Chain A
Amino acid sequence: MGCPCELKLEGEAAALERAAQAAQAEVERLDRKYSHYRNDSLIALLAACADAGGGMNVDEETAHLLDFSATLHAQSDGRFDIAAGALTKLWDLTSGRVPEAAAIRAALSRCGWQRVRWRRPHIHFSTPGMRLDLGGVVKEYAADRAAQACRDAGVAHGVVDLGGDLAVIGPHADGSPWLAGIKHPRDTARALATIELAAGGLATSGDYERALIVDGRRYSHILDPRSGYPMQSFASVSVLGDTCLVAGAAATLAMLFGVAEGRTWLENLGLPFLCVDAAGDAFGSLAR
C-alpha cells in the first residue's frame, strides 16, 4: 500500500500470531491485486484494456469496488473519479512544474467515469489511453478487511492502522475504547485531537506531503477531474464511520468539495468529523 501498516492486538499469543499473519496476508493480497500492476494478474489485463480501449469481465470483488466508486462519483457530482488516472499521471510526471494547458486538455479527454461503460461484470473503456486508479478506496477497504481477518482468526480486541487510516477490530479487552490522535497537517509531531474509538473506522484525507510549490504558489495534490487543475481545499479532513471505507470515502469527498462546500456537506452527512483549513484552524464535531 506504500504506507506503514500497524496492528495493535490484545489476546492469546497463538491467536495474535495467527491474526497478524492473516491481516498481513490480506493486505498483501489487495496490494498485489490493486496497487501494483503485476504482469500475471487480471488487473494487469484491466490496465491494458483501459490503455488500449476495450472491455473485459471483472471478478466479484473488483465489481464491488467499481460499484462503490461509481456511488462516490455520483455523490460528488463527478469530483471523485477513479477514471482520472491520466490526469494524476500528468501532474505526477511534471512534478516540479505546472503542466501545459494543452497537455491538461489532452489528459482530460482521456479521463472521466462517464467514458467508462460499467455493467457488472463487464467494464468497457470507450476511449483509449485511460487509466483506472482504485487507490482512493483500496487502502480503507484493506484496513477493514485486515480487521475482519483478525476477527476471523479469533482476536476480538485491536485496531488496524494502515497509514493513518484506522479500522477497529474491537475495543480493549476491558471494554474501553482505543485512543487515536489526529495529527496536525502542517506539524505532524503535534496531535490536534484525541478521539475515542470503540468500533468502526477513522480515516483522514489531506495533503500533508505531496504538494507542488511553483513560484511561491502551493498546488495541492487534490485534483479536480472536471477542470484538470489542483484545487484549494482543507489541509486535512478526518471522519469517523461505521467502517474505515465509509469514513475514508466521506473524508475524500469533503476534500474534493473544497472548504466552503465541504464543510456544509460534512455537516449534512451526519458523521463525526474534524477539518483543518489552510490557516491551521480546526473545526467540526470532533474538534475540541
Chain B
Amino acid sequence: MRKPTLSPSLAALMGAAAALGAHAQSAPETDSVVGYRFNEYGEDSFDGAAIGSQERYKVYSQQFQLDTRLPTGAGLDVVATHEVMSGSSPWYVLPDAQRRPIQVLSGATIREHRSELRGAYTIDPGTASSTTVSASYSQERDYRAGSLGIERSLPLGNALTFGTGASLSHDIIQPTDAILYDRVRHEEKNTFSAFGSLAWVLDKSSVLQAGLQFNHAVGYLSDPYKLVSVGDAILPDTRPGTRTEAAALLRYRHAFAKPDAALHLDYRYAQDSWGVVSHTVDVGWYQHVGDSWQLIPALRYYSQQQARFYAPFFDPGQHDFFSSDYRLGTFGSFAASLNVRKRIARWELSAGVERYHASVDYALGGSDSAVPGVLSYTRGFVGLDYHFD
C-alpha cells in the first residue's frame, strides 16, 4: 500500500473507520457491563394480635455482576450476592378463647448471612439459536443449595422461536439450635424443573411468548423453623415429601416508536399437587425520556388458593400433614414499583422502589380461613453499572 500523506480529512475518515475496524475484530452486538447493586428490604411491623418479638424482618443485600463476551464470542455472566438478614418471622398460630388466631413470632435472629454465586455461559449469545449452561451455589449457616441448568433456543422460521430448558437443584438443610428446639438435624431436597416456550414475532414491534413449566420437588419440603398448633400440642410443620407444580405463562411485549416506550404484559397460572392454585399478572411500562433516561413503572397482582393442609391451627385428631405457614394460605397481593435508569456516557445509574401489600381480602374468590402471618413490605435499591467494550 502506498503511504499517503495524512490530510485532516483522511485522518477523520480513517479515525472513524478504525472504530468500525476495531469493532469488526470483536464479536458484534452488545458490550460488557460490570455492576454493583445495593438492596434494602423491610417488612411492615406486625399489626395483628401477636406474641413475641415484633422486630421487623430486614434484609440488606449487595450484588456484583459481570456480563461480558469471551474472546471466543461466548457470553459469560457472573453474579455474586451477599445478604444480611435480621428480625423475627411468623412461628406458629394459637387460637384464643373465641378461636381467633394469635400469631406467635419467633425471637429476633441476630444477623444471618447468605452468600450466593451464579454463573451462566452462553454459546451464540444474542442470536435466536443460543445455548446457555448455568450453575449456582448458595450458602448460609443452616442452608446450602447448588443447581445446574441448561437452556436452548431454536429458530423455527423467521418469526417463531422455540425455547426449552431444564434444571436440577440440590438443597441441604441443617437447622440451627436443632437440639434446643427439637428440630430436624439434617435434611435434603432435590428439585427438577423443565420448561418449553414458543415466541412469535407478531409484527415489527410486538412479540408474544407462551410457555409451560413443570417443577418437581422431592425430599424435606417442610419449614424446620415453623410450628403448628394441633389441639393442645405444638408440632413441627409437616408437609408431603413431594410437590409437583405445573405452570402456564403468556408474555406480550409491544414497542411504541411514539412515545418511545415498550409495554410488558405477563400472566402466569400455576397449580400444584398440594392444591395451591395461583394467578400472577404483571404490567410494566418501559418509557425512554430524552436520550438517557428510562422510567419503568410496574404493577403486579398475585392471588393464591391455599394448600389442602393449610390452616392457622388444627383441631386434635389424625392429620397426615399440617402447616400454618402463611405462604401456603389463601391471600392476594398488589405490588407497585418504579425504577429509574440514567445513562451518563459509559455509566448507568439505576434506582427503584417497590411497595408490596398482601391481604386475605385480595384473594380471588375470597377465603374461608385466616392467614394471620400475611405481610407487606417495602423494597428499594440503587445500582451503578459501567459499560465497556
Contacts and interface: CB of A to CB of B under 8 A. Distances in A.
Q: Max chain B CB contacts within 10 Å: which of A53, A240, A269, A272? A: A269
Nearest to B345: A120
B10 A269 contact: yes
B23 interface: yes
Contacts of B97: none
B2 A72 contact: no
Contacts of A104: none
A164 to B, nearest CB: 19
Contacts of B343: 122
A122 B1 CA distance: 37
Given A49-B257, A65-B20, A199-B1, A60 B12 contact: no
A272 B10 CA distance: 12
Interface string A36-48: 0011100011011
Contact of A141 (B13, B20, B30, B259): B20
Contact of A64 (B23, B203, B204): B23
A51 B291 CA distance: 18
Contacts of B7: 268-270
A270 B13 CA distance: 12
Nearest to A53: B258
Interface residues of A, number: 51
Contacts of B15: 71
A255 interface: no
A250 B4 CA distance: 13
B201 A39 contact: yes
A80 to B, nearest CB: 11
B159 interface: yes
Given A40-B159, A242-B14, A243-B17, A200 B1 contact: yes
Given A53-B257, A60-B23, A60-B28, A67 B16 contact: yes
Nearest to A148: B24
A240 B389 CA distance: 30
A281 interface: no
B177 interface: no
Nearest to A71: B16
Given A60-B29, A60-B30, A242-B14, 8 more contacts: A56-B260, A56-B288, A59-B30, A119-B292, A122-B288, A242-B17, A246-B14, A250-B10
